[in-house]
Amino acid sequence: MIGRPWDKKGMYDTFEEADEIRHLYLDVSEETQAKVHRTADGKFLVKTRTHPDFEPKKEKKKMGKIADEIRRIQVEECLTLPQIFEKYPHLATLQHKELMEEHAEPLSERKKQLLCD
């Protein structure tokens, strides 16, 4: 499935009725998309959804590359976490830096929100 799914809003006997309802949904908000779909039994179904441009964007995971690398090494070499850090001491430092960045980022966002309010 591509894009957001459509919600079924109502079934009507004539296209004119369905089209009128479709226009009502379109007039309510520019964020809404609406369409009329003819069904196999000759009725008309009104479907709506929020326009994809107005959907909140999902944040991409920025951090975790070091943790993923540690997990990969752990599986490949069958090592425990202490054994990995003993064998690859630089990973402990990198993971610590990564964790500090992850925890520092939300704090700065909270500060920005408090300052804006």
- In terms of domains, do 46 and 70 share one? no
pTM: 0.47
Burial tier of 44 (Cβ tally within 10 Å: 0-12, 13-18, 19+): buried
Confidence of residue 79 (pLDDT cuts 50, 70, 90): confident
- In terms of domains, do 47 and 90 share one? no
- In terms of domains, do 44 and 85 share one? no
User: Stretch 41-54: mean pLDDT, rounded?
Assistant: 89
Domain count across the chain? 2
Cβ–Cβ under 8 Å, residues 63 and 102: yes
Predicted pLDDT at 66: 82
| More confident of the two residues 94 and 62 | 94
- In terms of domains, do 44 and 83 share one? no
| More confident of the two residues 5 and 3 | 5
| More confident of the two residues 3 and 93 | 93
- In terms of domains, do 46 and 69 share one? no
- In terms of domains, do 72 and 102 share one? yes
Domain assignment present for residue 1? The answer is: no
CA quadruple 97, 99, 100, 105: dihedral sign:
positive
Predicted pLDDT at 107: 52
- In terms of domains, do 45 and 69 share one? no
Domain assignment present for residue 91? The answer is: yes
Q: Is the predicted pLDDT of residue 56 greater than 60, yes or no? A: yes
Domain of residue 111 covers 65-116
3-state secondary structure of 37: strand
Domain assignment present for residue 60? The answer is: no
Looking at every residue in the chain, the average pLDDT score rounds to 82
Could you tell me the strand order of the sheet in which 44-50 lies?
7-12, 44-50, 32-38
The DSSP H or E segment spanning 6 is none
Predicted pLDDT at 110: 58
- In terms of domains, do 41 and 74 share one? no
Domain assignment present for residue 2? The answer is: no
Domain assignment present for residue 12? The answer is: yes
Residues 4-44: tens digit of each pLDDT: 789 999 999 999 999 999 999 998 888 889 999 999 999 99
